[in-house]
């Protein structure tokens, strides 16, 4: 199998790039990509794609991401993680759960956030994190993002004297959880960082599905399969659109199958399926 997906539960402490090494060895190819980088300290779901399946990654990356993390009040670091260099401390940072819940509600919907200086964002062709490591002053512009759900998770410690508040977040592509933690703390009138970030899901794909087994694209996407004849198969393979007479209802995307074999992915436009790429 030269093209497939692999769902990985990345452990904390290693980079996303290193996580993909085993996939490259397993499939004997360097053509491996993934949907959304996780920080080295973060854990959770990485959707890896091999071969031509890398072309399908944009459809996964565009979906909402789900995270759990600890809001750690009372410190601010350069990396926005507890292990970074401390820039600020607040010995009176403890807040009641009701205060935190109220602050969280102000972040629901479209927001602007400034990405962390220690991030993979490119500045004049260089990673912001590399420039930050060299001691350069990094100024990143605010970006629009969307939070659809943000809440506290149950905890037996109702007073939160340890300054840790477990949170759950469902958000759009491009959301930085570390920046979100910093901004929530500022809303509470103190400082804070994110700890134990874990990606629980991307769209309908859950970290609980992670395994080392390759997954075919039709198992991962909820797209209808259009069974076509040999004539239409030749057209698709030559990049020629075919009329939508093969599906029960118009779909924006579909797998095109000839003799039971998935041969292409097509997009529905104005009554025709336009081939996007071959599989």
Catalytic residue ranges: 39
**Contact in structure between 106 and 187 (CB atoms under 8 Å):** yes
Q: What is the secondary structure of 167-224 as a DSSP string?
A: EEEEE-TT--HHHHHHHHHHHTTS-EEEEEEEEEEETTEEGGG--SS-B-HHHHS--E
Kindly report the number of other CB atoms within 10 A of residue 273's CB atom.
28
* CA–CA separation, 16 and 162 (whole Å): 30
Query: Other CB atoms closer than 10 Å to residue 31's CB: what's the count?
Result: 14
Distances (CA, A) of 135 to 77, 118, 131, 270: 14, 11, 7, 54
| Cα distance between residue 13 and residue 33, in whole Å | 20
- How far apart, in Å, do the first and last CA atoms of the chain sit? 11
User: Considering only CA atoms, which of 61, 10, 48 is closest in space to residue 198?
Assistant: 10
- Note the Cα 161 to chain centre separation in Å: 32
């Amino acid at each position: 199998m030269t093209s497939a997906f692999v769902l990985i539960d990345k452990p904390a402490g290693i980079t996303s790039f290193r996580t993909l090494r085993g996939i490259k060895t397993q499939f004997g190819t360097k053509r491996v990509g993934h949907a959304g980088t996780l920080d080295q300290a973060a854990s959770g779901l990485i959707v890896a794609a091999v071969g031509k399946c890398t072309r399908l990654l944009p459809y996964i990356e565009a979906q909402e991401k789900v995270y759990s993390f600890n809001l750690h009040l009372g410190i601010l670091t350069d990396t926005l993680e507890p292990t970074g260099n401390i820039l600020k401390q607040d010995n009176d940072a403890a807040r009641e759960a009701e205060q935190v819940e109220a602050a969280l509600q102000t972040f629901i919907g479209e927001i602007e956030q400034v990405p962390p200086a220690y991030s993979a964002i490119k500045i004049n062709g260089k990673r912001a994190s590399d420039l930050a490591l060299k001691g350069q002053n990094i100024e990143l512009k605010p970006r629009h993002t969307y939070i659809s759900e943000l809440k506290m998770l149950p905890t037996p410690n109702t007073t939160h004297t340890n300054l840790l508040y477990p949170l759950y977040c469902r958000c759009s592509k491009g959301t930085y959880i570390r920046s979100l933690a910093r901004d929530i703390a500022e809303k509470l009138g103190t400082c804070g960082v994110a700890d134990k970030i874990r990606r629980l899901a991307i769209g309908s794909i859950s970290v609980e599905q992670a395994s080392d087994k390759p997954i075919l694209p039709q198992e991962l996407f909820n797209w209808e399969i259009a069974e076509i004849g040999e004539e239409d198969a030749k057209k698709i393979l030559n990049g020629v659109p075919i009329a939508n007479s093969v599906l029960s209802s118009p779909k924006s995307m579909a797998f095109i199958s000839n003799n039971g074999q998935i041969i292409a992915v097509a997009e529905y436009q104005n009554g025709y399926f336009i081939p996007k790429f071959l599989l």
